[in-house]
Amino acid sequence: MAKPKLDRKTLLRNSLSVFKTMGYNGTSMNDLAKANGLLKGSMYHYIESKESLMLEVLTALRDHYVSRVFNKAFDETLQPYQRLKELALRAEEIFVFEEGGDFLVNIGLETKNSVPAFTQVIKSFFQEWINTMKYLYSFVLDEADAKEKAEFIVAEIEGSVLMMKLLDDVNYLHRTNERLLKEYKELERQKVYK
Amino acid sequence: MAKPKLDRKTLLRNSLSVFKTMGYNGTSMNDLAKANGLLKGSMYHYIESKESLMLEVLTALRDHYVSRVFNKAFDETLQPYQRLKELALRAEEIFVFEEGGDFLVNIGLETKNSVPAFTQVIKSFFQEWINTMKYLYSFVLDEADAKEKAEFIVAEIEGSVLMMKLLDDVNYLHRTNERLLKEYKELERQKVYK
DNA sequence: GTTAAATTACCAAACGATTGGTAGATTAAT
DNA sequence: ATTAATCTACCAATCGTTTGGTAATTTAAC
């Protein structure tokens, strides 16, 4: 009976799936336990508290994005435009199909005034994202413009994802990405002519 | 103590204030009662349930926006550009200073998979907003483009508000509005030249 | 290789606190 | 005296968490 061990990754993935559909306050320890094939008391064999579990989920998600998605921006075997395209593609997959998506925003808003520990991780995710975009745009814009552009683009994508969810319209994000890519190409062209 | 202690408007305003900072699931009937200067049991003299109260708050908020904010777009004493400017100004006030703000988005995301009645009202709010923007852009763009532009702009503003909250940066929305206004003026210029 | 101790994984039950909601008594204005 | 508004007291259910206990497995001494 001490064999079928639940490994950490599975625990986090199962828990994320529940948190994602019910939110933080909307999810009970019972829900989490069920999703992991355990009774609620047994969950405490793996975790210290509901809050610490969520914090671990958030952190894992952020680290995943940083090391598996954002890092594409620094892949020197690709042209800058191709890197942006890779990022856009991955973002579309993530937000439209995968578990996770705009999860970080949802939880960030829901717990903003009650669990500061969450806010910190979520903030750092967005900072990382903005920095990634800033780097990519530094190829076609000067420092200050690249920064502003990066901040604006992250907001733009998040807004699209949001409307996509609220209005059940899957095209939102795709159109936004297409617009961004087209615009980037135009910026590259202008840069060359200068 | 049988005086009409609490009028409907005050009840809704007080409740909104609590819901706004703690979310739907994060707010208890006790919290709501306290905010209204009552004991929990007394709340049920005014409302049928926690859910019905929230639904009333959401509906009142949507109706307020439609009749007091969005209607500016149809004010024929103003030039289209001036109407857009009015809308932008009001939006900035609402999102930055007032209670309410992106409340509808937060609740929409938090309760998307648990309380469909909320989703309906929230959806209609965004549809109204999009329609308003579409009308304003029909002065400078053709039908199809105006629609796409409207959808995009609402997403853009929402994204800005979101980042503003998550990153505690009040400039986000202001910059977005300035960009929109400038672009609208440019669209007007292009229209004239054609 | 056998065996006993230590550890792991889990369950069933219960904890005190809090949840949304109800009933009946009490208060105060008309 | 009537009636509307509020309080007090309570309910059943659920919350996150802790407990006591029991198999299954791993470890380590022989």
pLDDT tens-digit map of A181-193: 999 999 999 977 7
Q: Residue A132: its pLDDT value, please?
A: 97
Q: Which residue of A has its CA nearest to B172?
A: A152
Q: Residue B170: its pLDDT value, please?
A: 86
Mean pLDDT of chain B: 91
Nucleotides of D under 7 A from a protein CB: 3-10, 14-20, 23-26
Q: Is A160 on the interface with B (CB under 8 A)?
A: yes
Q: Residue B3: its pLDDT value, please?
A: 58
The model's confidence at residue B101, banded by pLDDT at 50, 70 and 90, is low
pLDDT tens-digit map of B4-23: 668 899 999 999 999 999 99
Amino acid at A110: E
pLDDT tens-digit map of A23-58: 999 999 999 999 999 999 999 999 999 999 999 999
For residue B2, pLDDT beyond 70: no
The model's confidence at residue A2, banded by pLDDT at 50, 70 and 90, is very low
- The residue-averaged pLDDT of A12-32 equals 95
The model's confidence at residue A155, banded by pLDDT at 50, 70 and 90, is very high
CA-CA distance, A183 to B99, in Å (whole number)? 37
Mean pLDDT of chain A: 91
pLDDT tens-digit map of B160-194: 999 998 999 888 899 999 999 999 999 999 977 76
CA-CA distance, B155 to A130, in Å (whole number)? 18
CA-CA distance, A86 to A91, in Å (whole number)? 9
Cβ-Cβ contacts under 8 Å for B5 (sequence gap 6 or more):
B37, B38
> How far is CA B193 from its chain centroid?
36
Print burial letters for B128-139: b (CB count within 10 Å at least 16), e (below 16): bbbebbbbbbbb
Domains of chain B: 57-193 (1.10.357.10)
In Å, how far is B104's CA from the nearest CA of chain A? 10
Q: Residue B1: its pLDDT value, please?
A: 42
Q: Is A170 on the interface with B (CB under 8 A)?
A: no
Footprint of strand C on the protein (CB under 7 A): A 1-6, 37-42, 45; B 1-3, 27-31, 40-41, 44, 49-51
Measured CA A11 to C1' C11 distance, in angstroms = 19
Please check whether strand D approaches the CB of B9 to within 7 Å.
no
- The residue-averaged pLDDT of A69-77 equals 96
Q: Is B160 on the interface with A (CB under 8 A)?
A: yes
For residue A5, pLDDT beyond 70: no
Tokens describing residue A79: 């042209």
Please check whether strand D approaches the CB of B1 to within 7 Å.
yes
Burial of B15 (0-12, 13-18, 19+ CB in 10 A): buried
For residue A169, pLDDT beyond 70: yes
Q: Residue B100: its pLDDT value, please?
A: 58
pLDDT tens-digit map of B46-98: 999 999 999 999 999 999 999 999 999 999 999 999 999 999 998 888 777 67
For residue B32, pLDDT beyond 70: yes
CB B104 within 8 A of CB B24: no
Q: Residue B97: its pLDDT value, please?
A: 67
Tokens describing residue B33: 């009662």
For residue A1, pLDDT beyond 50: no
H, E, C per residue of B81-126: HHHHHHHHHHHHHHHHCCCCCCHHHHHHHHHCCCCHHHHHHHHHHH
Nucleotide nearest to B43 (CA to C1'): D6
Q: B165–A109: do the CB atoms touch at under 8 Å?
A: yes
pLDDT tens-digit map of A87-118: 999 888 888 767 555 899 999 999 999 999 99
Q: Residue A30: its pLDDT value, please?
A: 96
Which one of A25, A148, A179 has the shortest CB-CB distance to B25? A25
